[in-house]
Structure 1
Amino acid sequence: MTGDRTSATPGKTRFDDIYNEPDPRAYFRRLAPLEYEIPHQAQAIFRRTRADRAAVSGTGDPVTVLDLCCSYGINAALLNHDLTLAELYAHYTGAEAAALTPAELIEHDKEFYASRRRADASPVIGLDSADRAVDYALAVGLLDEAYAENLEERPAGPQLRRAVAHTGLITVTGGIGYISRRTFESLLESARIPVWVTAFVLRTVPYQPVISSLADYGLVTETDPSQTYPQRLFSDPAEQRNAIEQVLLLGHDPAGLEADGRYYTQLYQSRPRPA
């Protein structure tokens, strides 16, 4: 989870100091030069998957989404609001935000997000061990529920288990490698309705252990290895060398991808096995 980022990817740069601040300004300032863009890549896919999940339920009720490693609620912001990631970068790195205290920014952002709320917005539960980050996302209205728990270390608490019972879609963009099958197993133990999982996974990280765990809970995972999604630029040549080494170890070809200077992800969609 992002509050205690011990990665399964050797050589990956750590940004521990930006993941648990009272607000996201340092996060966006640090990641802007690296062109961190995976939430943008995921935005349309998450919206489309949410619509597909709602269609199969047949109830007309909104789908509750659980965003893993949710940090400051960025995926929720892009899912439920008429906003782009570029607009969020501009918002949090601009002069107006820089002049505010954290408390003032929270009050400002309540209105900022409320004025951009989409008609098809759905409840979002945020899970991340970074307590101050999820507190911010909850305070400004991006999350309906927020849980600062680390399921790699201990089972889900009773309130989180209750929330998961009504979750229809689990999303994750930046967490695989920091979380493992243990987190998914803890969550799926509490599921009471069919859960779909949509995960963007760095090509440097093995996802098969999670796929195997999801299969134990009746989920079939599909992916298209030919379709990749950029995450961010490498922070330095050493990080790139390590990433190339990892993708080669996992049987991927870095040519035109990691070899050209960026981390790339692969999309995995997991849905209940057909009856």
Structure 2
Amino acid sequence: MLDVCCSYGINAALLNHDVTLAEMYERYTSPACQTMSTAELAAGDKEFYAERRRPDAVPVFGLDVAAPAVQYALGVGLLDAAFTDDLEQSSPSPGLRRALAEVGLITLTGGGSYITARTFRALLGSVRRPVWVSAFVLRTVSYHPIVRALAAHGLSTTVDVGHSYPQRLFTDEREQRYAIEAVRVLGGDPAGREKDGRFHSLHYESRPDTR
């Protein structure tokens, strides 16, 4: 699995370890963790996740231009490999191309506002096996250019626009007004979602077209 815009490896933590998102919030907002140095927290995290590693854990590669974040995730054992390639600007490095040859699933959770179809074209140009793409994208962003890029590589995309997934609270009224207007521009209805104070995302699932 390749987690695009992986940051500190939260998806890998939830996928491969017996830990919930609520438990992670509790851990990292605790007074004990907040007073630790980075080195102390890393040592604690390495032990924390090792104790909770699932026997059926799958290899997870991380891709993010934020080098400190991916290096932290790699160091504490959440990622099996980490890459900082900026695929908006350049082609995959030799190391990333070798990793992509093993990838069967690409995930994106929260990065749809930062990357474009250029990144996905670069990734899919290096995969060597049938690959699925699972993406959670904010309703304020159009995913259609990426859907077209995936289709060009033989992937068919489905989305249930009637079901959304709540994300973080808005920081202020200005951000909420932006989100409401952006959703309306894209043909969505913010009632009961963005109007209630949170960003919402849609889940896009892309699979090889077998027709």
TM-score range, shorter chain: over 0.9
The separation in 1 between residues aligned to 2:130 and 2:45, in whole angstroms, is: 34
Which amino acid is 2:11 matched to?
A: N
The separation in 2 between residues aligned to 1:95 and 1:204, in whole angstroms, is: 35
Per-residue Cα deviation, 1:119-167 (whole angstroms, up to 9, x for no partner)? 2210000000000000000000000000012111111101001101110
Greater relative contact order (Cα < 8 A, sep 6+): 1
2:106 matches 1:170:
yes
- Provide TM-score, normalisation by structure 2: 0.98
Aligned to 1:256: 192
The separation in 1 between residues aligned to 2:172 and 2:50, in whole angstroms, is: 38
2:17 matches 1:81:
yes
- Provide TM-score, normalisation by structure 1: 0.76
The separation in 1 between residues aligned to 2:37 and 2:178, in whole angstroms, is: 39
Aligned to 1:233: 169
2:63 matches 1:130:
no
Which amino acid is 1:224 matched to?
A: D
Runs of 4+ residues deviating >6 angstroms = none
* SS, match of residue 244 in structure 1: helix
Per-residue Cα deviation, 1:234-262 (whole angstroms, up to 9, x for no partner)? 11000000101100000001111111111
Give 1:94's match in structure 2, choosing from 30, 33, 58: 30
Aligned to 2:82: 146
2:154 matches 1:207:
no
The separation in 2 between residues aligned to 1:133 and 1:93, in whole angstroms, is: 18
Aligned to 2:207: 271
Aligned to 1:245: 181
Identity of aligned residues (%): 59
Per-residue Cα deviation, 1:97-125 (whole angstroms, up to 9, x for no partner)? 12322112111111100000112210000
Q: Deviation of residue 96 (structure 1)?
A: 2.0
Q: Deviation of residue 194 (structure 1)?
A: 0.4
Q: Deviation of residue 94 (structure 1)?
A: 1.1
Which amino acid is 2:189 matched to?
A: D
* SS, match of residue 159 in structure 1: helix
Structure 1 residues without counterparts, runs of 5 or longer: 1-64
2:57 matches 1:121:
yes
Aligned to 2:116: 180
* SS, match of residue 126 in structure 1: strand
Aligned to 2:156: 220
Structure 2 residues without counterparts, runs of 5 or longer: none
The separation in 1 between residues aligned to 2:34 and 2:188, in whole angstroms, is: 42
The separation in 2 between residues aligned to 1:182 and 1:77, in whole angstroms, is: 28
